[in-house]
Amino acid sequence: MWLRLRSATVRLTKVMNDKKQPSRFETKAIRTQLERSQYLEHSSPLYLTSSFVFEDAEDMRASFAEEKERNIYSRYSNPNSNEFVDKVCLMEGTEAGFAFASGMAAVFSTLAALLDSGDHIISAGNIFGSTHALFQNFFPKWKISHSYFSIDALETIEGLITENTKLIYAESPTNPGVDILDLELLGNIAKKHNLILVVDNCFASPYLQQPIRFGADLVIHSGTKLMDGQGRVLAGITVGKADLIDKIYRFSRITGPALSPFNAWVLSKSLETLAIRVDRHCENALKLAEFLECHHQVNWVKYPFLKSHPQYALAQKQMKAGGCVVAFEIKGGLVSGKKFFDRIQLLSLTANLGDSRSIVTHPASTTHSKLSIAERKASGITEGMVRISVGLEHIDDIIADIEQALQ
Ligand X SMILES: Cc1ncc(COP(=O)(O)O)c(C=O)c1O
Q: Give residues in contact with ligand X (CB under 6 A).
A: 102-104, 107, 128, 171, 175, 200, 202-203, 222, 224, 234, 236
Nearer to ligand X, 275 or 325 (CB): 325
Whole-number minimum distance, CB 200 to ligand X, in Å?
5
Whole-number minimum distance, CB 91 to ligand X, in Å?
18
Whole-number minimum distance, CB 111 to ligand X, in Å?
12
Whole-number minimum distance, CB 281 to ligand X, in Å?
15
Whole-number minimum distance, CB 314 to ligand X, in Å?
18
Whole-number minimum distance, CB 80 to ligand X, in Å?
18
Q: Residue 65 contacts by C-beta under 8 Å, 6 or more apart in sequence?
A: none
Nearer to ligand X, 12 or 206 (CB): 206
Whole-number minimum distance, CB 253 to ligand X, in Å?
20
Nearer to ligand X, 134 or 406 (CB): 134
Nearer to ligand X, 177 or 337 (CB): 177
Nearer to ligand X, 236 or 322 (CB): 236
Q: For the packed helices 79-92 and 261-271, what is the interaxial angle rounded to 10 degrees?
A: 40
Nearer to ligand X, 12 or 128 (CB): 128
Nearer to ligand X, 63 or 173 (CB): 173
Whole-number minimum distance, CB 92 to ligand X, in Å?
16
Whole-number minimum distance, CB 47 to ligand X, in Å?
23
Nearer to ligand X, 127 or 321 (CB): 127
Shortest-Cβ-distance residue relative to ligand X? 103
Nearer to ligand X, 261 or 323 (CB): 323
In three-state form (DSSP H/G/I as H, E/B as E, the rest C), the secondary structure along the chain is CCCHHHHHHHHHHHHCCCCCCCCCHHHHHHHCCCCCCCCCCCCCCCCCCCECCCCCHHHHHHHHCCCCCCCCECCCCCHHHHHHHHHHHHHHCCCEEEEECCHHHHHHHHHHHHCCCCCEEEEECCCCHHHHHHHHHHHHHHCCEEEEECCCCHHHHHHHCCCCEEEEEEECCCCCCCCCCCHHHHHHHHHHCCCEEEEECCCCHHHHCCHHHHCCCEEEEECCCCCCCCCCCCCEEEEECHHHHHHHHHHHHHHCCECCHHHHHHHHHHHCCHHHHHHHHHHHHHHHHHHHHCCCCEEEEECCCCCCCCCHHHHHHHCCCCCCEEEEEECCHHHHHHHHHHHCCCCEECCCCCCCCCEEECHHHCCCCCCCHHHHHHCCCCCCEEEEECCCCCHHHHHHHHHHHHC
**Strand bridging mode 120-124 / 165-171:** parallel
